[in-house]
Amino acid sequence: MRKIGVLTGGGDAPGLNAVIRAVTKTAINVYGCEVIGVRDGYDGFITPGGIVPLGLSDVRGILPRGGTILGTANRGNPFARKVIRDGKEVIEDVSDEIVAAIQDQELDALIVIGGDGTLHIADELFDKGVPAIGVPKTIDNDIGGTEITFGFDTALMIATEALDRLHTTAESHHRVMVLELMGRDAGFIALHSGVAGGADVILIPEIPFKYEAVASKIRQRVERGTYFSIVCVSEGAKPQGGQPVFSRKGDAVYVPRLGGIGQVVGEYIERQGFETRVTVLGHVQRGGTPTAFDRWLATRYGAAAVRLAAEGGFGRMVSLQNAQVVDVSMREALAVPKRVDVNGDAVLTARGLGISFGDETLTPIPSPAGRKAQG
Ligand code: F6P
C-alpha cells in the first residue's frame, strides 16, 4: 500500500477528526504510506485545491476537536450534482469524472467516512472500480450492519443534558417542556436520551402516536399531583395515520429536511390547557468535542479501516459487533437501515418505567379524594 485517500461526507458528527487522525497515523506509522485528504466530500476530487497531503503534524491536536478538518458536504452526490451548463443550473451525473480523478491520484484505497448517503455513493463508486472502504458515521445511529456509529454517544450526552436542564425549569414553572431532537427516520437519540433524561413522553418515528394519548399522560401526571412534564420528540415522529413534518421540501440535490413536529405537539398540548414551551435542540447535537466513547470508537474504526485497506477489503465497511471492530459488506450493511426495535428491551424498559410513547390513551386514575367519594 503506497497511497491512500480519506474523505468525510454528509452531515458532520463528533469524532470525524479522530477517524482522520487514526487513519493518517496508522497509514504512516504501520505501512509507511502516503495519505491525502479530500476536501468537502467527493467534491474535493474535482475542485481546485480539493486534495491536501496529510502528515503526522496535520493531525496533531485534532482528537478532541468537533467537525472535520477536511470539510464536508451533504449535496455532493457525484451521481446527481448541480452544475452550470451554458449558464443554466442542471443536475448531472459526474461520477465518471470523479472516478477518473481518483484514478489520477493512483490511490490504493479511498477511506470514506460517512452516513448512509455518502456510503451508498462509495458503494456505487466501488462498482465503478474505486477501492472504497466505509467508516460508518452519524449521530442518528441508523446504519445497518453495525451496533453503533460514532457521533451518536456525543449527541446522546448533549440531548440528555438538555433534558436535565429543561427538567429544573419545567418543575419551577409547572410547565410542559417539549424537546425536539434529531435522528431522521430513527428514534434512537430521542429514545436513549429520553430514558437517560427521565422524559415522561417519548415520540419516535417507529411508534406513530395519538395526540390524545400524549395529553392523557400529562393529565395523569397532573391528577397525581405532578404539574410538569417532559416530552421528548424525535424530528421524524408522526401521528397515527399522519405524515412527518418537514421544514423544507426535497429536490434532486437535497433530501427533504425534517423539523417542526415539536412545535405541532407543543401547540396541541397547550390547547389542552397545559402551559407548554418548545425547544428545538438542532445542530447543537452535532457540534463540539466528542465524548471519550466516540473518540475511542472513531479511533478504532479509523485504524481498522487502514488495516482493511492493506488486506484489500474493498467494498466493505468497518463495524462494531459484540464490542469488536469487524468488517461487513457495505452493500449488505446499507440494504436495511437500522431502526428502533419497537419490541426490544429499550422500549420495554421505557414502558416499564411509565414512559408513554403516545400510543396508549391512559384512563385517569381517580385521585385519593375521588376514590373516597366512590366509596
Ligand atoms: O443525519 C444527521 C442529521 O443531523 C439528522 O439528524 C438531521 O435530520 C439532518 O442531519 C440535518 O441535516 P442538515 O445539517 O442538512 O440540516
Distance from C-alpha of 338 to C-alpha of 144, rounded to nearest angstrom = 5
Ligand 1 atom at minimal distance to the Cα of residue 115: 1
Query: What is the predicted pLDDT for the residue at 252?
Result: 76
Cell of 289: 468535542
Segment 77-110, tens digit of pLDDT:
999 988 888 889 899 999 999 999 999 999 999 9
- The share of the chain scoring above pLDDT 90, in percent, equals 90
Exposure string of 177-199, with b = 16+ CB inside 10 Å and e = fewer, is bbbbbbbbbbbbbbbbbbbebeb
Is the predicted pLDDT of residue 135 greater than 90, yes or no? Answer: yes
Query: What is the predicted pLDDT for the residue at 375?
Result: 46
Centre of ligand 1 from the C-alpha of residue 269, in Å: 26
Centre of ligand 1 from the C-alpha of residue 225, in Å: 38
**What is the DSSP code (8-state) at residue 12?**
-
Centre of ligand 1 from the C-alpha of residue 221, in Å: 33
Query: What is the predicted pLDDT for the residue at 368?
Result: 55
Distance from C-alpha of 364 to C-alpha of 351, rounded to nearest angstrom = 17
Query: What is the predicted pLDDT for the residue at 366?
Result: 57
50 CB under 6 A from ligand 1?
A: no
Q: Specify the residue with its C-alpha closest to ligand 1, atom 16.
A: 257
Comparing CA positions, the residue from 74, 69, 204, 210 lying closest to residue 141 is: 204
182 CB under 6 A from ligand 1?
A: yes
Exposure string of 246-258, with b = 16+ CB inside 10 Å and e = fewer, is beeeeeeeeeeeb
11 CB under 6 A from ligand 1?
A: yes
Distance from C-alpha of 253 to C-alpha of 297, rounded to nearest angstrom = 31
Query: What is the predicted pLDDT for the residue at 74?
Result: 83
184 CB under 6 A from ligand 1?
A: yes
Distance from C-alpha of 83 to C-alpha of 141, rounded to nearest angstrom = 32
Segment 344-365, tens digit of pLDDT:
999 999 999 999 999 998 776 5
Segment 204-216, tens digit of pLDDT:
999 999 999 999 9
Tell me, letter by letter, the H, E, C secondary structure of 212-263: HHHHHHHHHHHHCCCCCEEEEEECCCCECCCCCCEEECCCCCCCCEECCHHH
| CA distances in angstroms from 61 to 4, 20, 64, 288, 375, listed in the order given | 21, 12, 7, 14, 71
Segment 11-31, tens digit of pLDDT:
999 999 999 999 999 999 999
Segment 277-303, tens digit of pLDDT:
999 999 999 999 999 999 999 999 999
Q: Specify the residue with its C-alpha closest to ligand 1, atom 10.
A: 11
Place of cell 437500522: 338
Pick the catalytic residue from 43, 116, 123, 140. 140
Is the predicted pLDDT of residue 374 greater than 70, yes or no? Answer: no
Comparing CA positions, the residue from 139, 265, 242, 238 lying closest to residue 192 is: 139
Does residue 93 carry a catalytic annotation? no
Segment 154-191, tens digit of pLDDT:
999 999 999 999 999 999 999 999 999 999 999 999 99
| Section 35-57 average pLDDT | 97
Query: What is the predicted pLDDT for the residue at 370?
Result: 53
118 CB under 6 A from ligand 1?
A: no
Centre of ligand 1 from the C-alpha of residue 12, in Å: 9
Centre of ligand 1 from the C-alpha of residue 16, in Å: 15
280 CB under 6 A from ligand 1?
A: no
User: Which three-class secondary structure state does DSSP give residue 110?
Assistant: strand
User: Which three-class secondary structure state does DSSP give residue 87?
Assistant: coil
Main-chain dihedrals φ then ψ at residue 270, nearest 5 degrees:
-65, -40
Q: Among 8, 181, 286, which residue has the most ligand 1 atoms within 8 Å of its CB, making it the best to mutate?
A: 286
Is the predicted pLDDT of residue 253 greater than 80, yes or no? Answer: no
Q: At 168, which amino acid appears?
A: T
Centre of ligand 1 from the C-alpha of residue 27, in Å: 31
**What is the DSSP code (8-state) at residue 132?**
E
Q: At 341, which amino acid appears?
A: D
Angle at 265 (CA atoms; ends 259, 271), nearest 5 degrees: 140
User: Which three-class secondary structure state does DSSP give residue 177?
Assistant: strand
Q: At 268, which amino acid appears?
A: Y
pTM, rounded to two decimals = 0.94
Comparing CA positions, the residue from 10, 5, 122 lying closest to residue 68 is: 10
192 CB under 6 A from ligand 1?
A: no
Distance from C-alpha of 266 to C-alpha of 91, rounded to nearest angstrom = 39
| Section 315-334 average pLDDT | 98
